[in-house]
Structure 1
Amino acid sequence: MAPRRCPCGSGLAYGECCGRLHDGSAVAVTAEQLVRSRYSAFAVGDAAYLLATWHPSTRPPSLELDPAVRWTGLDVLATSRGGLLDSEGTVEFRAWHRHGGQTGDQHEVSRFTRVDGVWRYLDGR
């Protein structure tokens, strides 16, 4: 059986892509990679990873994911900074989902910052 593809759309197997970030064996090296790994965390139901990658100043005390929502695709629309040498960055994306027979999307411009050298999700608009 072939390994399952990563939900982030990279074309790689989950274990070679976002799965490494989810299990802690790797960290996101860019803000875009963090967006992709956070999207994949929604898709696989990993609330702990989402909380762990949230900036401490904006992180909610808990996070309940709706198991009825099926995340179906991610489009990264634009990035600004957020690279290897940056301390801040933004990523604009659209995430597609299905819920109750309806297709929907979430469009967001997310802000990221580094905390002790590690990318963290700050907020989105």
Structure 2
Amino acid sequence: MDIENERAVHKLTLEAIILGRLLAEEWLEGSLTTKGSTRLIILEALRSLREREGLVGIDQDLIELMGEQIRKTLNEIRNGKGDAAISQDVDLDWEQDQKVIEYVNLAYRWKQFKAAKFALDDKLAAIRDADVLLAKIL
């Protein structure tokens, strides 16, 4: 890997680690409790993110499970608000319910982490594919 790609991967990794830690801290210090059969998986992932233990076990499916947990919980409080918070930015200027505010903010943090992790995964995939393609030519 050349130095330019190495720097880009380091930058993307740092961003994903920081945003993952912030997501985990906000989630674990807040009032959202994970439910269902994925509860332990999500909690373990959040603890791992909080402690900066790596991103290897955090895949797309797990990230989507986290988002689904936020979406469902927020929809239970205010019908449709979770769907909106996951799919778009939500205006909280007139919102009075502190749980709604907390969960919308958590959804925003989740979206930031998801984007950072997917950008890192895309960069790594591009490097792998480029190496394979270049090996065929050279």
Larger proportion of strand: 1
Would the TM-score normalized by the shorter structure come out above 0.5?
no
Tell me which protein shows more helix as a share of its residues.
Answer: 2
Structure 2 length as normaliser, TM-score? 0.27
Q: TM-score with structure 1 length normalisation?
A: 0.29
Higher RCO, 1 vs 2 (CA within 8 Å, ≥6 residues apart): 2
